[in-house]
Structure formats: C-alpha cells, structure tokens
Amino acid sequence: MDIRRLASSALFIGLAVSGAGAEEWLPVKENNLEISAGSPLDFSGFLVNTPIEEKKRLIANPYGRFAQADKPGEALRLQCASIAWGPPSSGAVDRAFIDRYVRQLSLHGYNIARFYFVDADLMLGQAQDFDFRPEALDRMRYLMAALKREGIYW
C-alpha cells in the first residue's frame, strides 16, 4: 500500500514539474556565493563561535563527549567543515583570502574544521622528507590562527 502511494506521489510530482516551461524560470545572475552576515543563509547564530582561549579549549568530558574546559558538564555540539588544503586550492591564496574563507565557514555555522592534503601543500616539489616549503607552512599557520580567532576548532 505504501509503495503504491509513494509511486503515485512521484508520478504526480513528475507531471507537475514537467508542466513548468523553461520560459517561466528566471536566470540566475548572481555568481558570488559568499553569504552576507545577517542574511537568511547566515547560520552563525545557531552555534555562536567565540575566539578560542585556554578556558575554551576542547576536552573530552567524563561522559566521553566533547566539551569546553570551562564547562565540562555541558556537551558541545560540533559542525565539521572538511578543508582540502592542498594543491591547487592552497597555492595562490593570500591572508585576505584566508580571512574571508574562515569568515564564510563561520557564517555557514561550522565550529570545527578537519584538514585534508596538508602534506601535499607543505611538501610540493621538495626533495627531502620534512623539508617544508616555508610559504606553505606560513599559510597553514595563518589559516589555523584565523580559525582560532573565529572560534573554529581544528
């Protein structure tokens, strides 16, 4: 019975969508995907991020949940952003871009970040192990400091 109801609903939706002509749709003219603070897409109010200090460091509380050091009994809800920070995405970014990027993460409602491919950026073109590119290391450290300032753990 439920399968028939689901199939008829899908058929009805399909017919309704196919009836809408292309001339009824307006073209998207905006190509900037940055969220403005205070807009309906600003999710930063759901999880308020304050700059991370010693008392706000992340700990595992006695119940095995993440919490801030100053509130160990209160479990912390984390929304994780996956950051693929490697070539080509990290190669041509400056500090102003990093600041904008981190602000956008906050506006999207993230409060923790997970890094991927950091080694690829740090070691690109290097002949020896642990011979980090200084500019890549500086960029990574600045990114981590910017995340901390914005209240995003890593």
pLDDT in tens, the chain (154 residues): 566 666 666 655 665 555 555 678 888 888 888 999 999 999 988 878 888 999 999 999 999 999 999 999 999 999 999 998 766 566 678 899 999 999 999 999 999 999 988 888 888 888 888 888 888 889 999 999 999 999 999 9
The domain spans of the chain are 36-149
Instruction: Tell the residue number behind the tokens 């919490």, with chain if given.
Output: 67
CA distances 36 to 41, 44, 81, 105, 152, Å, are 8, 11, 19, 12, 18
10 Å CB burial of residue 109 (0-12, 13-18, 19+) is middle
Helix (H) or strand (E) holding 101, with range, is helix 95-107
CA dihedral over 46, 49, 55, 57, signed as positive or negative: positive
